[in-house]
Structure 1
Amino acid sequence: MDTAHDIVQNYHRAWTSGDVERAMTYIADDITCRAPGVDLGGKEAYSRYIAGFAPTLTGIGDIAVFADGDRVALFYYPQTAATSTAPAAEYFTVRDGMIAESVLVFDRLSYGPPR
């Protein structure tokens, strides 16, 4: 059986490579997510949110992962046309082999249109 660390890493690799459909196979139907400016409830809303951002990625930099049982913290640099140095952090809770909660932290202004 995959660990929470494995599940989060597989999810992250999927969506950051543009395969949102595969990424959603790691997401619980009743996921809750808190992100800057939005609280999301349910897999459908979460999928739309991820699918809206994934196409803007031009790369991913320096990933660090820390796991403690069913909780996983992930730190990375989502690279877009607007920035390659603004960090993002996610804190996941995995239940019954699925990501059930996510807290996503990033600077929204850094990902706006380039000036």
Structure 2
Amino acid sequence: MTALETSLAFHRAWMAGDIDTALQHVAPDVVCDAPAGRITGIAEFRAFIEPFSRLLTGSHLHGAFGDDTTSVLFYDTATRPVPHAPGAEHHTVTDGRITHVRIVFDRVPFEAARAAAR
């Protein structure tokens, strides 16, 4: 698989809520840099992505680009608390597994939804 194919397989499974399949495309020692900080290892990464997958009601992939070792995905998600949440990910892929993830998304709508729920 190319880096882009690996990332797309991960993304499709994650957005469908199939975390076990998604993590088959992730290295055990993955490093993820997200707005909340650095996450290391597959157990911490699972704990980070799994709760979000349970909130998802839909997603739309706007674009995906890659080369031999990296890929970039740009997408929108719809969740129960926030109907429109754009995000982007940059993946580094080594030997068919994602080894580094950098996630960019706007946390403000999620913080506003949490504050409104109080």
TM-score (structure 1 length as normaliser): 0.92
Q: How far 1:61 moved relative to its partner?
A: 1.9
Give 3-state SS (helix, strand or coil) of 2:24's partner: helix
Runs of 4+ in 1 over 2 A off after TM superposition: 81-86, 111-115
Contact 1:80 1:111 survives alignment (8 Å): no
CA distance in 1, matches of 2:82, 2:60: 11
Q: 5+ residue gaps in structure 2? A: none
- Note if 1:31 corresponds to 2:30: yes
CA RMSD of aligned residues (A): 1.3
Contact 1:74 1:91 survives alignment (8 Å): yes
Q: 1:6-25 counterparts in 2 under 5 A? A: 6-25=5-24
Q: Any idea what the Cα deviations from partners look like across 1:40-74, whole Å, max 9, x if unmatched?
A: 00001001111111000010024310112211000
Q: 1:64-83 counterparts in 2 under 5 A? A: 64-83=63-82
- In the alignment, what sits opposite 2:39? 40
Q: 1:92-107 counterparts in 2 under 5 A? A: 92-107=91-106
Contact 2:75 2:88 survives alignment (8 Å): yes
Give 3-state SS (helix, strand or coil) of 1:83's partner: coil
Amino acid paired to 2:26? I
* Identity among equivalent pairs (%): 34
Q: How far 1:87 moved relative to its partner?
A: 1.1
Amino acid paired to 2:56? L
CA distance in 2, matches of 1:5, 1:61: 17
